[in-house]
Structure 1
């Protein structure tokens, strides 16, 4: 692959989205061209085809759980993305705002909205005339209290990203449309911030994963020279594996999970998605502490995967990477 092709980093766009922020956090070097994509699947496709050297996609939110669109692409039931693995991660604090056009006769109530004792964010302007809300589907569940208190009457429409939501709302000069998005998007599209930090939990954070093709390099992490990030103290690693089991076999899942415990590997997350083969059969996603090492057959992860292969119907290793989570 040519050098100019390797320099492209694809992300879920458009610019101003939280994924864009995560991408800029992970790739600070001038070596890279940051390329927005319309959908998460477009990011997978760009990396799989070699059009992009790396890809950045949302994976899970601390308040609202996993991004099922991303899980389904990793599950890859149709075999479209066999070469995609994870090589890094990034965490972005999510502060959703309500964006739109403030009524010309309305006066800002910002002082009232910043009262720390108020359990639900207070609108800065009159928002009773808003008829349509746009956002990425993941954001609705992160702002339930605010929406239930002030915007029950508004129709909700799903779009590909929070930044796209702001772009659409900006096209409606009547002020009857609004978006759940970021302050950055408000500046980009010339919208007013109608309410600040409307997510239910102030510490709301989304984790993003960095993708690469398995064939592009030897297994490694997104390294410091590539990303511009500080090296993580202690080189704490995570890995991700998917597997399927014989659902007719009692204890099949328990036997598979015990493999990780037997080798001292701490599970950090478990998810499931439909197998796509038979109703009520599932693909299991297991994330755990540890690193697969191609040069050490006796390392704990390699041993665990060897045993897992004997117990499950089939498994797929989806990468190892450095842990970027700063524990509180």
Structure 2
């Protein structure tokens, strides 16, 4: 009988060979992404994927391999391939036709923040090219792009638990940047400590204001007497707790980042909503062009006249053209003129491409029934409500 150590050695070698094959596959994905970008071909080809999966399932069955395992494995591979292609296409467009050797990215916090993880998710096909810049504020992220200190920035804009991040919406009103991409990231808030400690000993909780708000129910129930201290980012909270080394202090942050700061997760997934997803936008100084064959989202702002039915007329512009509005928010107008202190700026996300005649026509009509109209960006749509 084969010695178990020898069998395990063979398995290890096979697993390494599988990884090497995946690496070769990823190299082929780069060529496919470049070809699709040059020729305006959609990233997702459902017919091709379905047909190829059926072929693989038939081969797996003939080889005695579980069809369920095969389907699960290749569905994950296909999903990763699409993600890689979208990221590469973003890089191609941002560099005006050639992949950037280095991509300078600004995000909130430092290594281990949710924005850090979102950045690496979006750019994971080209991680080796990233030059990272952690920022203390949203304004710093935007300014770094405006001043050519970064090629792009990652900004959280809304969360399924706490809603829109108003500060980002307000900053975008006058920012000299364009939205060039988007992604969603699953948030897992955990209670992190320097060492295992009893719940009853915890007196101080450090975190960014958003996680504290998103975990309010658990915190009220389990730590009603605790003092909450807000930080500029969850990573700052983790740094503080790691430095204190106190059984009375904990941080609320990304559980996956705990090892980076030598912290111990005490409680996991404590958010009010167990499905806790943050949508991030990618910003750049130059706008990008999305091929019309790729599903695109356009973000814009507009103001309305202070009279009955003004907003209805705006909505009709899109409705009559069968353009889906997937996001509509209002915020106080920044820099209002005297007498317009209560004027509102509306933010809208629509599923449409600025390169198409239908949206161009809608924008012309929109300018007739609104005040200021500003296109924040047109980019590949990857986060659509009820479809993401």
TM-score (norm 1): 0.80
CA distance in 2, matches of 1:4, 1:259: 39
Show CA shifts across 1:64-108 (max 9, x none): 1111121111123xxxx2x211110111110000111345xxxxx
Residue correspondence of structure 1 range 70-89 to structure 2 within 5 A: 70-76=168-174, 81=175, 83-89=176-182
Q: Distance in 2 between matches of 1:60 and 1:6?
A: 28
Offset, 1:325: 3.0
* Contact 1:5 1:53 survives alignment (8 Å): no
Equivalent residue in structure 1 for 2:353, among 277, 291, 294: 291
SS at match of 1:171: helix
Structure exhibiting the larger radius of gyration computed from Cα positions: 2
Q: Call closer, same or farther: CA 1:273–1:9 in 2, change over 3 Å.
A: same
Equivalent position of 1:17 in the other structure: 113
Is residue 142 of structure 2 the alignment partner of residue 41 of structure 1? no
Of 194, 208, 220, which residue of structure 2 is paired with 1:136? 208
Aligned to 1:279: 341
- Contact 1:264-1:300 at 8 Å conserved across structures: no
1:1-328 matches, within 5 Å, as 7-28=103-124, 29=126, 30-76=128-174, 81=175, 83-102=176-195, 125-214=197-286, 219-220=288-289, 235-247=294-306, 249-276=307-334, 277=336, 278-293=340-355, 299-325=357-383, 327=387
Q: CA RMSD in A?
A: 2.3
Take 2:314 and 2:188, find their aligned partners in 1: how far apart are those partners? 38
Higher helix residue share: 2
Aligned residues of 2:105 and 2:131 also touching (Cα < 8 A): yes
Once residues 52 and 65 of structure 1 are traced to their aligned partners in structure 2, the CA distance between those partners, rounded to angstroms, is 28
Where do 5+ consecutive residues of structure 2 fail to align? Answer: 1-94
Q: TM-score, normalised by structure 2?
A: 0.68
2-structure distance, mates of 1:283, 1:129? 47
Contact 1:86 1:321 in 2 (8 A): yes
- Deviation, 1:14, is 0.8
Distance 1:307 1:4, change over 3 A: closer
**Paired residue secondary structure (2:200):** coil
Count of residue pairs brought into register by the alignment: 283
If asked which structure has higher relative contact order (CA below 8 Å, sep 6+), I would say 1
Measure, in 2, the Cα distance between the counterparts of 1:5 and 1:128.
52
- Cα contact 1:5–1:52 (8 A) shared by 2: no
1:289-321 CA distance string (max 9 Å, x none):
11111xx5xx11111111111111111100011
- What CA distance in whole angstroms lies between the structure 2 residues aligned with 1:266 and 1:316? 18
Q: Is the 8 A contact 2:195 2:245 kept in 1?
A: no
Contact 2:142 2:177 in 1 (8 A): yes
Runs of 4+ in 1 over 6 A off after TM superposition: 2-6
Q: More deviation in 144-153 or 128-137?
A: 128-137
